[in-house]
A and B are shown apart, each in its own frame.
Chain A
Amino acid sequence: MNEYNVDQPIYALATAWAPSALAVVRTSGTGSVELLSRIFSSPGRLMNAASKTLVHGYLRAEDGSNIDEVVLAVYRQGSGYTGEEAVEISCHGSLTTLKRVFVRLEEAGFRLANKGEFTFRAFMHGRMDLTQAEAVEEIISSRSVKSQEQALDRLSGRLSARLNEIRNRLVGILASLEVQLDYAEDEILEEWVYPVSEVDSIISSLQLLSSTYAAGKIWRDGAKVVLAGAANAGKSSLFNFLVREDRSIVSPIEGTTRDYIETDIDLKGIPVRLFDTAGLRESGDLIEAEGIRRTQALIDEADLIILLADSADPVIPSSLADDKRLILVHSKSDLAPAEGHGISVSSVTGEGIEDLVDEIARRLGALSGEKDQSLVIDSERQHDYLEACISCLEASREASGQSVDIIALFFQAALENLGYITGEVTNEELLDRLFSDFCLGK
């Protein structure tokens, strides 16, 4: 968890984390306008915008493509809610869009705000009275924030044991470096040798953990769930039923072609991009063939494929027969009772929908292939810190020819990132390790 402070550029979603037509993302902090101008289609207009004015344009991705059409409300220092230079971004409210906006803001140099941090800043800048401030105190000291800080509390026993084991191994490497820097070459006679196999093994342990982060891709892009099946299998009915299951009203968006429609829904907290596709039947018709080709492309990229089959006629295309992403659904169970395996669903009575939603959520949660759910990384931040830790270690490998004072920097950075998940590694802990691992002292 980051420190609360009163200057770093921060961002947070001001509206609810749910699909909606529009959403507002707030930013605040010194340099917010300048940082945003780097990822905005009209940087000049934004930089010159007066306080409390609106600027229309596009948020741009790294490659220059548009992420979303947005309206930016600019607040110069002293005029906004926090009293700091700030920009409010009104953008479209699909979860996928929001996720992309967040990633882009992080890339631009904003960090996600801590709980209550906007209000904290407003108070620190004298824009709030004591009564209001007391409410913030409650937020900041609330149970949830505390447990968030003690990140290990949130991890399962086995996962935290595994992370701690990796942390200890890294502390061991860093201690072996530090001892070289804290004791002279006549006291520590051994030259430090880059522990290639130990680092490789730590990296692969970290990668294994990181890969369990099933929701990683899902949070960024939404899980792709594709409804497939024969033309009259009941895909559209199921599509509509699942959209209703989300309860937040979203009208389906037309796909780029008429061959499929897609929509963002939220299934048990997992953002899902649901696709209704054209039929899978072979066809001599060129136009339909193109549709089928696109459907096939969707299926190739899908995280889950829900294959609808008429209960009476469960034909599974051979290409999907052994596909682990497949969920077989007997549709129209109200017409004919289901037989064999698969989930029976009726889009008319709603029977079986609960089971299907549960199954989708379970399967998305288990995408990692890690069978033991207690060893799955479930938070995006944790995943990001793991990845950052891995890249520090990889960078250390490339720097292995440098002097030990430089190499130590990479391991310090690696441990700093891991420390966000497992708890900080203090200088004292390092020295403890150093004294217990090495016989020192003239």
Chain B
Amino acid sequence: MRDYDCIVIGGGHAGIEAASAAAREGFSTLMITQSLDAIGRLSCNPAIGGLAKGNLVREIDAMGGVMGHLIDQSMIQFRILNRRRGPAVQAPRAQADKFTYSRNAKELLEHTPRLSLFMDTVTDLIVEDGAVCGVVTQRGWKISSRTVALTTGTFMNGRIFIGEWDAPCGRLGEEAAFGLGDSLRRLGFDVGRLKTGTPARVRRSSLDFDELEIQPGDEEMLPFSFDYDCVDRPQLDCYVTWTNEETHRIIRENISRSPLYGGKIVGKGPRYCPSIEDKVVRFPDRERHQIFVEPEGVSTEEMYLNGLSSSLPEEVQHEFIRTLPGLRHCEIMRPAYAVEYDYLNPLDLYPSLESKRLRHLFIAGQTNGTSGYEEAAAQGLVAGINAALSMRGEEALILKRSEAYTGVLIDDLVTKGTKEPYRMFTSRAEYRLSLRHDNADIRLTRLAYEKGSAGKEKLERLEEKMRMMSDLKESLRAYRERGKNGLQLLKEPETSIEDLAVRIPRLSAFSVPVQREVALDIKYEGYLARQEAEAESLVKKEAMKIPQDFDYDSLKGLSSESREKLKQVRPVTIAQAQRISGLRVSDIALLMMGVRHWRGKGDQHK
């Protein structure tokens, strides 16, 4: 008898979803975290969502995860991004009250049945016969479990850098986790180093607001969760300012003091989120860079300087930050810093997020080389669900690229690996027009219900919404004008659903979100058809499974390079093999034949 069904190591965004999913699925679960006070911290920017990321949050919610609820209850500003750039690629983003978010996260876990919380640091895994079966902690506890979810974020061998100064921390002031990274290295895991950074926080009452542009939220606040129709919370403004020649001069003169340029940091940082010194060096012609000043919460004076992450020495930071309009007299409360940490090569994972090296070990979040709360949470949810499914002996939840950003995220990680902190982008998704944030429930809720993660109420809400959508389409079909029905009218670029709502009184019976969603479905129908046909052809190859004991050395005609790639990734399906970069069409054909033959042999033995 094991102490728990599932142990989750870490209380960040991946850990929260993994632990609550496993518990929701009916399994006794223990979350072990270094600090109970640090559960669900927003270590970097005080915001959830954004392009592609907002879609991830809504997918998490559609599958029964908790991130949507947490942000809905802590948002202090809400916006729909990219309204003008196409309805299919809009996404919600909310500024969060960091402290409320974190407190709510802990409360939510405390109220989750079958979930226990324990403060300690895991230093080793207990392994038997190639499977994990428990953990060892710093204070000497040995706790057994059937499955383990590893979600340690930046804490494994974390080290932070501010100029010449560095310290073993996962976040400023919080000790890094030692022991586990070395244990994993000893167990043969492929451990690498990555780097990320965070900007300084300044004091609200020290800002010159007359020099800052105001950036308000949308008037209309919408929930991330599909469980209710509205959120109503007071909103705070964000602010915009700009760097200038003087800022850049100071940065350039001190560039050699940056650990990034001095060579102290070996881990690769994210190109999509460069430090200010990177921006200044790489784009010398830019006269100014935009900086957003964002509140970290309602009851705090700390303001986050979005766009100004840096690892320059503190006195240099003080000097250059005070060259920005609005910040000339600012009090710096926390310095910017870079953090370097261990990550595990995600190519060592199955698409279920179970480790290929240790059975029953699931790994999620920043540990897999990703960056961002949303990316972490999405993986945590899938890891938690799949730990549960594996304990029930059921088939793992593997989302297709055509089905969810979560599917794109995990498939990219386990098929291509990553060399820099991986962030989700819409351009990573081949079928982004279908992966809208508003239809995440239609895409995922039924599946999640069948897998035990989404509850009955969620499914019923979805069914009600789909009924409304089909009724609305019926009403549109019945309406006629200029020899066209409502559906045909809506296809015209110049006709919006709002226009039709004025002309067709019956439409007022439908909620605005339902109206908009139906309108998008119809307007994009033609463009979606081709994507769907493509996705359809992939489905067949997704169904062609490759046995995990398949011997790649038995395949004739492969180049040695292709053979090595296949042996490293050990794809689960032909479709996954096809996505490994550098593999040829002919390699895939040979693989298909090899697998067919392998299966044929297996049949003969039976």
Contact A3-B51, Cβ < 8 Å, known A130-B597, A181-B427:
no
Given the complex, which residues of B lie within 8 Å of A405, measured CB to CB?
85-89, 432-433
CB of A181 within 8 A of CB of B86, answer yes
Contact A136-B593, Cβ < 8 Å, known A435-B271, A439-B282, A442-B273:
yes
Contact string against B for A residues 411-442, beta-carbon threshold 8 Å, 1 for contact and 0 otherwise: 00000000000000011101100110001111
B193-234 interface (Cβ within 8 A of A): 215
User: B27-35, B284-292, B445-453: which lies at the A interface?
Assistant: B284-292
Within 8 Å by CB of B81, from A184, A406, A409, A434, lies: A184
Given the complex, which residues of B lie within 8 Å of A192, measured CB to CB?
85
A133 at interface, CB cutoff 8 A? yes
A293–B576 CA distance with the chains assembled, in angstroms:
64
CB of A141 within 8 A of CB of B556, answer yes
Question: Chain B nearest CB: distance from A82 CB in Å?
Answer: 14
Contact string against B for A residues 222-251, beta-carbon threshold 8 Å, 1 for contact and 0 otherwise: 000000000000000000000000000000
A351 at interface, CB cutoff 8 A? no
A34 at interface, CB cutoff 8 A? no
Question: Chain A nearest CB: distance from B456 CB in Å?
Answer: 35
Given the complex, which residues of A lie within 8 Å of B432, measured CB to CB?
181, 405
CB of A181 within 8 A of CB of B540, answer no
A403–B279 CA distance with the chains assembled, in angstroms:
29
CB of B272 within 8 A of CB of A180, answer no
Question: Chain B nearest CB: distance from A434 CB in Å?
Answer: 8
A126-177 interface (Cβ within 8 A of B): 126, 130, 133-134, 136-138, 140-141, 145-146, 149
CB of A138 within 8 A of CB of B427, answer no
A404 at interface, CB cutoff 8 A? yes
A20–B286 CA distance with the chains assembled, in angstroms:
68
A185–B215 CA distance with the chains assembled, in angstroms:
12
A329-374 interface (Cβ within 8 A of B): none
A401 at interface, CB cutoff 8 A? yes
CB of A442 within 8 A of CB of B86, answer no
Given the complex, which residues of A lie within 8 Å of B82, measured CB to CB?
180-181, 184-185
Contact A140-B86, Cβ < 8 Å, known A435-B271, A439-B286:
no
CB of B537 within 8 A of CB of A441, answer no
B104 at interface, CB cutoff 8 A? no
CB of B597 within 8 A of CB of A133, answer yes
A259 at interface, CB cutoff 8 A? no
CB of B85 within 8 A of CB of A181, answer yes
Given the complex, which residues of A lie within 8 Å of B560, measured CB to CB?
none
Task: Count residues of chain A with CB under 8 A from any CB of chain B.
Answer: 56
CB of A181 within 8 A of CB of B273, answer no
Closest B residue, CB atoms, query A116: B589
User: B67-75, B346-354, B467-475, B579-587: which lies at the A interface?
Assistant: B579-587
Within 8 Å by CB of B590, from A137, A409, A435, lies: A137
Within 8 Å by CB of B556, from A134, A146, A401, lies: A134
B539-568 interface (Cβ within 8 A of A): 540-541, 556-558
Contact A426-B89, Cβ < 8 Å, known A133-B593, A442-B292:
no
Contact A431-B282, Cβ < 8 Å, known A406-B86, A441-B307:
no
CB of B307 within 8 A of CB of A138, answer no
CB of A141 within 8 A of CB of B593, answer no
B482 at interface, CB cutoff 8 A? no
Given the complex, which residues of B lie within 8 Å of A406, measured CB to CB?
86, 527
CB of A140 within 8 A of CB of B590, answer yes
A171-203 interface (Cβ within 8 A of B): 178, 180-187, 189, 191-192
A79 at interface, CB cutoff 8 A? no
Given the complex, which residues of B lie within 8 Å of A8, measured CB to CB?
537
Contact A404-B86, Cβ < 8 Å, known A149-B585, A430-B427:
yes
B409-460 interface (Cβ within 8 A of A): 416, 425-428, 432-433
Given the complex, which residues of A lie within 8 Å of B390, measured CB to CB?
none
Within 8 Å by CB of A120, from B52, B87, B589, lies: B589
A426–B283 CA distance with the chains assembled, in angstroms:
25
Given the complex, which residues of B lie within 8 Å of A149, measured CB to CB?
584-586
B157 at interface, CB cutoff 8 A? no
B522 at interface, CB cutoff 8 A? no
Contact string against B for A residues 1-27, beta-carbon threshold 8 Å, 1 for contact and 0 otherwise: 111111110000000000000000000
Given the complex, which residues of B lie within 8 Å of A435, measured CB to CB?
271-272
Given the complex, which residues of B lie within 8 Å of A140, measured CB to CB?
557, 586, 589-590, 593
CB of A5 within 8 A of CB of B540, answer yes
Contact string against A for B residues 313-350, beta-carbon threshold 8 Å, 1 for contact and 0 otherwise: 00000000000000000000000000000000000000
Question: Chain A nearest CB: distance from B303 CB in Å?
Answer: 14
A17–B267 CA distance with the chains assembled, in angstroms:
57
B306 at interface, CB cutoff 8 A? yes
Contact A442-B427, Cβ < 8 Å, known A137-B590, A184-B51:
no
Contact A123-B589, Cβ < 8 Å, known A403-B85, A442-B306:
no
A114 at interface, CB cutoff 8 A? yes
CB of B283 within 8 A of CB of A4, answer no
CB of B588 within 8 A of CB of A3, answer yes
A47 at interface, CB cutoff 8 A? no
A320 at interface, CB cutoff 8 A? no
CB of B586 within 8 A of CB of A123, answer no
Closest A residue, CB atoms, query B280: A439
A18–B51 CA distance with the chains assembled, in angstroms:
57
Question: Chain B nearest CB: distance from A405 CB in Å?
Answer: 3
CB of B493 within 8 A of CB of A184, answer no
**Which of A120, A184, A401, A404 has the largest number of chain B CB atoms within 10 A?**
A184
Contact A181-B586, Cβ < 8 Å, known A123-B593, A405-B433, A435-B272:
no
A34–B518 CA distance with the chains assembled, in angstroms:
34
Given the complex, which residues of B lie within 8 Å of A114, measured CB to CB?
585, 589
Contact A404-B584, Cβ < 8 Å, known A3-B578, A182-B51, A441-B272:
no
CB of B81 within 8 A of CB of A185, answer yes
Given the complex, which residues of B lie within 8 Å of A189, measured CB to CB?
290
CB of B589 within 8 A of CB of A185, answer no
CB of B427 within 8 A of CB of A124, answer no
B93 at interface, CB cutoff 8 A? yes
CB of B527 within 8 A of CB of A126, answer no
Given the complex, which residues of A lie within 8 Å of B589, measured CB to CB?
3-4, 114, 116-117, 120, 140
Given the complex, which residues of B lie within 8 Å of A136, measured CB to CB?
593
CB of A126 within 8 A of CB of B86, answer no
Given the complex, which residues of A lie within 8 Å of B86, measured CB to CB?
181, 402-406
Question: Chain A nearest CB: distance from B597 CB in Å?
Answer: 6
Question: Chain B nearest CB: distance from A429 CB in Å?
Answer: 10
Given the complex, which residues of B lie within 8 Å of A187, measured CB to CB?
290
Given the complex, which residues of B lie within 8 Å of A439, measured CB to CB?
274, 279, 282-283, 286, 289
Contact A441-B273, Cβ < 8 Å, known A120-B589, A405-B433:
yes
CB of B556 within 8 A of CB of A137, answer yes
Closest B residue, CB atoms, query A174: B427
Given the complex, which residues of A lie within 8 Å of B370, measured CB to CB?
none
B596 at interface, CB cutoff 8 A? yes
Contact string against B for A residues 83-117, beta-carbon threshold 8 Å, 1 for contact and 0 otherwise: 00000000000000000000000000000001011
Beyond A126-B600, A140-B586, A403-B84, 11 extra complex contacts between A and B, CB < 8 Å: A124-B596, A136-B593, A137-B556, A145-B586, A182-B51, A191-B84, A403-B86, A439-B289, A441-B307, A442-B290, A442-B306
Give me the interface of A with B, judged by CB distance under 8 Å. 1-8, 114, 116-117, 120, 123-124, 126, 130, 133-134, 136-138, 140-141, 145-146, 149, 178, 180-187, 189, 191-192, 401-406, 409, 426-428, 430-431, 434-435, 439-442
- List 24 interface pairs A-B (beta carbons < 8 Å), by A numbering: A1-B585, A4-B586, A114-B589, A123-B596, A137-B557, A138-B557, A178-B427, A181-B432, A182-B425, A184-B51, A184-B82, A187-B290, A191-B84, A403-B85, A405-B432, A406-B86, A406-B527, A427-B428, A431-B425, A431-B428, A435-B272, A439-B274, A441-B272, A442-B306
Closest 5 CB pairs of A and B: A141-B557, A405-B86, A403-B86, A4-B589, A442-B306
Give me the interface of B with A, judged by CB distance under 8 Å. 45, 50-52, 81-89, 93, 215, 240, 270-274, 279, 282-283, 286, 289-290, 292, 306-307, 416, 425-428, 432-433, 493, 527, 537, 540-541, 556-558, 578, 581, 584-586, 588-590, 592-593, 596-597, 600
